C-alpha cells in the first residue's frame, strides 16, 4: 500500500485491467441538469423485460468499504427482507476496493460472479465493453416503481455505455472539503464559503499548519489530499484546462497545456513549496482520513463516503464546503451503482432487490446513515438526507454542486490510466521526481493504455 493509501480503499486497477484482458471476461464538459435521458431509459409499464415474475430465491451482493459503510448496506438488505422475505440476499463484503474489483473480475473469469455488485462509474466501462453486465436500462424501462426521470441525469448518464443504462446509481456525490470548524475558529479564520478561492484555501492551509508543541515538528497540517488524478482533475478544470483530448473518446492526456500546468503547479506546491500536507512517511504511519478524525488535519478533500465514519468524531465540530474556485466553479463526480452480472441465474430477484435499494425506501436508509448523496432527486431534498441534527450541517452543499459536476472519461482504458498516472503524480507530489518529468511519463504511459483499447 503506497503512501497515499487510505485506511482500506486501494484501487488495484492495473492488475484488474490486465486480468480482464487476459480472460476476455469483462474487460467532459459539465453535464446540465436538463440533459436528455439516455436511450433505454424511457418509462413503460411492467416490471421485468420478460414480464412480471414473483422474485424469490438466493442472490449474492458484493460490496466494499470500511465497517461504517458495510453497516449501510446491511441496513438496506434488512429493509428489503421486510418487503420481500422470499429473496435471500447474501452480502459478500470486501474491505478494500482493489480486492473487490479483483474478485469481481475473477468471478467473471470463473463463470461465477456475484449476482449484484457495487461499481464506481470510473471502473465499469471495462466490464461493459466485454458485455458481462446485464444492461439495466431495459429493466428500468419496465419498472412500475422506478423512473429514469426521478434520478439526477448526471449520475444516470455516468452509468450509460453506448447509449444504454448499465447500472443503477445510488449516489451523486462530489468532491468536497471536510474541515475542522473548531480549528478554523481557534485560529481566527473565516469559515469556507460557497465562493471561496484558491488563494483563500491556500491561506487557510498555511494558517492551519501548526507546531503546537513548540518543538519544531509540525503536528497539525492544513490539508490532506491524495496526489491522484481524481483529486487533481477539478483543479485543472477550474483553471480552464482539460485532462484528456476528447471526453467522449479519449486518446491522450492533456496535462501539458498552459492551463493544466498552472493547476498542477498549484496542486503540487501544497507539498513541494508550502508544505501544508503531511509527508509521505507521515501518511504511511497514519492515513489521511484517520489524521482528520484525530484533529491532525484542518481540511481534507474527499467525497461523501467519509461521512459515516466521520460521524464518530467526538473531539471537534466538522462540516463540509465546496472545492475552492479559480476561474470556473467545478467539482468531480463520485458515484457508485448497483450492477447485475449478465450470467446471473436469478435476475428477477436481483432486479427486485435493486428496485428496493435504489428506490425511495432503500435510498432513505442509506441517506440517514450518511453514506450517499441520493441519486433520487426526491430523497436528496428530504429530511433523510438534509437532517439538520446530523453532521455535516451543510449537506445542502452537495446538491448545490450538482450543476457543476464533471466526469472523468467513461472508457475501458480508464482504470489502467488512473493507475499509471497516479504513480507519477505521487512521485512529483512527494519530491522524488520533477513535475515536468512526472507529467511527461504520466502522459506517455496513459497514452499507451488508451491505445490498447482502440
Q: Which three cell numbers stand for residue 152?
A: 439526477
> Does position 337 have pLDDT exceeding 90, yes or no?
yes
Assess whether pLDDT exceeds 60 at residue 24. Answer: no
What pLDDT is stored for residue 140 in this prediction?
97
* CB 149 within 8 Å of CB 42: no
pLDDT: is 42 or 298 the higher one?
298
Q: What is the mean pLDDT of residues 409-421?
A: 95
Closest CA to 431 of 206, 227, 263, 260: 227
Closest CA to 326 of 263, 250, 278: 263
Global pTM reads 0.88
Q: Give the mean pLDDT of 251-261.
A: 97
Q: What is d(CA 246, CA 251) in angstroms, rounded to the nearest whole number?
A: 7
Residue listed under C-alpha cell 491561506: 203
Angle (CA) 324-327-328 rounded to 5° is 75
Contact of 98 with 18, CB cutoff 8 Å: no
Q: Does residue 414 contact residue 12 with C-beta atoms inside 8 Å? A: no
β partners of residue 88: 58
Which pLDDT band, with edges at 50, 70 and 90, does 406 fall under? Answer: very high
Distance CA 232, CA 240 (A): 13
Lowest mean pLDDT among 16-25, 91-100, 122-131, 297-306: 16-25
What's the rounded Cα separation, in Å, for the pair 370 and 385? Answer: 7
Q: Using CA atoms, how far apart are residues 210 and 208, in angstroms rounded to an integer?
A: 6
Average pLDDT value over all residues in the chain: 90
Distance CA 194, CA 322 (A): 6
Q: What is the pLDDT of residue 414?
A: 96
Is the N-terminal amide bond of 376 cis, ω within 30° of 0?
no
- Compute the Cα dihedral for 37, 38, 44, 46 and give only its sign: negative
% of the chain exceeding 90 in pLDDT? 86
Question: What is d(CA 30, CA 330) in angstroms, rounded to the nearest whole number?
Answer: 8
- Sort residue 79 into left (φ over 0), alpha (ψ -120 to 50) or beta: alpha
- The CA-based diameter of the chain, rounded to the nearest angstrom, is 71
Contacts of 376 (CB under 8 A, 6+ apart): 150, 151, 358, 359, 360, 363
Query: pLDDT for 290-303, tens place per residue?
Result: 999 999 999 999 99
pLDDT at 54: 77
73-92 pLDDT, tens digit each? 999 999 999 999 999 999 99
For the ranges 44-48, 102-106, 318-322, the lowest mean pLDDT is seen at 44-48
The residues, any chain, with a CB within 8 Å of residue 151's CB and separated by 6 or more, are 169, 375, 376, 377
Rounded Cα–Cα distance for residues 387 and 393 (Å):
8
Residue 428: count of CB within 10 angstroms of its CB = 23
Quickly count: other Cβ atoms within 10 Å of residue 290's Cβ. 16
Q: Are 348 and 366 in contact (CB under 8 A)?
A: no
Phi and psi at 364, nearest 5°, equal -65, -40
| Alpha-helical regions (H) of 88-195 | 97-110, 125-128, 137-142, 153-158, 181-186
* pLDDT band, very low/low/confident/very high, at 97 (cuts 50, 70, 90): confident
**Mean pLDDT to the nearest integer, 15-21:** 37
Residue 187 has pLDDT above 50, yes or no: yes
Burial group, residue 248, by CB count within 10 angstroms (0-12, 13-18, 19+): exposed
Structure confidence at residue 53 (pLDDT)? 56
More confident residue, 227 or 31: 227
Candidate from 23-27, 90-94, 152-156, 189-193 with smallest mean pLDDT: 23-27
Which grid cell is 119? Answer: 461499481
Backbone angles phi, psi at 181, to 5 degrees: -60, -35
- Name residue 178's beta-bridge partners: 300, 320
pLDDT at residue 47 in the model: 36
Which residues partner with 321 through β-bridges? 177
Query: 308 or 51, which is more confident?
Result: 308
- For the chain, state the CA radius of gyration: 21
Q: Do 339 and 119 contact (CB within 8 A), yes or no?
A: yes
Contact yes or no for 126/339 (Cβ under 8 A): no
Q: Is the pLDDT of residue 18 over 70?
A: no
Amino acid at each position: 500500500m503506497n503512501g497515499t493509501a487510505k485506511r482500506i480503499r486501494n484501487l488495484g486497477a492495473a492488475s484488474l485491467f490486465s486480468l480482464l484482458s487476459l480472460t476476455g471476461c469483462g474487460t467532459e464538459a459539465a453535464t446540465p441538469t436538463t440533459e436528455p435521458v439516455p436511450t433505454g431509459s424511457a418509462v413503460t409499464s411492467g416490471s421485468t423485460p420478460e414480464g412480471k415474475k414473483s422474485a424469490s430465491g438466493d442472490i449474492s451482493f458484493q460490496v466494499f468499504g470500511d465497517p461504517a459503510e458495510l453497516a449501510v448496506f446491511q441496513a438496506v438488505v434488512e429493509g428489503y427482507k421486510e418487503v420481500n422475505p422470499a429473496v435471500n440476499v447474501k452480502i459478500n463484503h470486501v474491505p478494500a476496493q482493489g480486492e473487490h474489483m479483483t474478485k469481481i473480475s475473477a468471478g467473471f473469469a470463473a463463470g461465477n460472479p456475484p449476482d449484484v455488485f457495487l461499481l464506481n462509474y470510473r471502473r465499469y466501462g471495462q466490464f461493459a465493453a466485454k458485455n458481462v453486465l446485464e444492461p439495466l436500462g431495459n429493466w428500468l424501462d419496465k419498472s412500475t416503481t422506478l423512473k429514469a426521470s426521478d434520478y439526477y441525469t448526471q449520475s444516470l448518464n455516468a452509468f450509460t455505455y453506448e447509449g444504454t443504462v448499465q447500472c443503477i446509481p445510488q449516489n451523486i456525490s462530489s468532491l468536497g472539503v471536510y474541515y475542522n470548524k473548531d480549528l478554523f475558529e481557534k485560529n481566527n479564520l473565516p469559515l469556507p464559503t460557497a465562493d471561496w478561492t484558491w488563494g483563500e484555501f491556500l491561506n487557510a492551509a498555511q494558517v492551519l499548519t501548526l507546531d503546537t508543541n513548540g518543538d519544531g515538528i509540525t503536528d497539525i497540517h492544513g490539508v490532506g489530499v491524495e496526489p491522484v488524478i481524481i483529486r487533481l482533475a477539478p483543479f485543472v478544470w477550474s483553471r480552464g484546462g482539460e485532462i484528456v483530448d476528447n471526453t467522449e473518446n479519449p486518446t491522450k492526456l492533456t496535462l501539458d497545456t498552459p492551463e493544466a500546468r498552472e493547476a498542477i503547479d498549484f496542486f503540487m506546491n501544497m507539498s513541494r513549496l508550502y508544505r501544508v500536507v503531511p509527508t509521505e512517511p507521515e501518511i504511511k504511519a497514519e492515513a489521511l482520513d484517520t489524521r482528520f478524525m484525530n484533529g491532525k488535519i484542518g481540511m481534507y478533500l474527499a467525497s461523501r463516503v467519509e461521512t459515516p465514519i466521520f460521524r464518530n468524531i467526538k473531539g471537534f465540530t466538522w462540516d463540509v464546503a465546496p472545492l475552492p474556485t479559480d476561474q470556473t466553479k467545478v467539482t468531480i463526480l463520485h458515484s457508485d451503482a448497483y450492477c447485475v452480472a449478465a450470467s446471473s441465474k436469478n435476475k428477477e430477484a436481483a432486479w427486485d432487490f435493486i428496485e428496493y435499494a435504489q428506490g425511495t425506501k432503500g435510498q432513505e436508509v442509506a441517506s440517514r446513515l450518511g453514506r450517499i448523496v441520493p441519486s433520487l432527486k426526491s430523497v436528496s431534498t428530504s429530511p433523510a438526507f438534509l437532517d439538520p441534527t446530523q453532521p455535516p450541517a451543510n449537506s445542502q452543499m452537495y446538491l448545490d454542486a450538482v450543476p457543476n459536476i464533471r466526469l472523468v472519461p467513461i472508457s475501458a482504458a480508464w482504470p489502467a490510466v488512473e493507475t499509471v498516472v497516479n504513480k507519477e503524480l505521487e512521485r512529483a507530489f512527494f519530491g522524488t521526481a520533477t513535475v515536468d518529468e512526472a507529467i511527461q511519463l504520466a502522459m506517455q504511459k496513459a497514452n499507451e493504455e488508451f491505445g490498447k483499447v482502440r
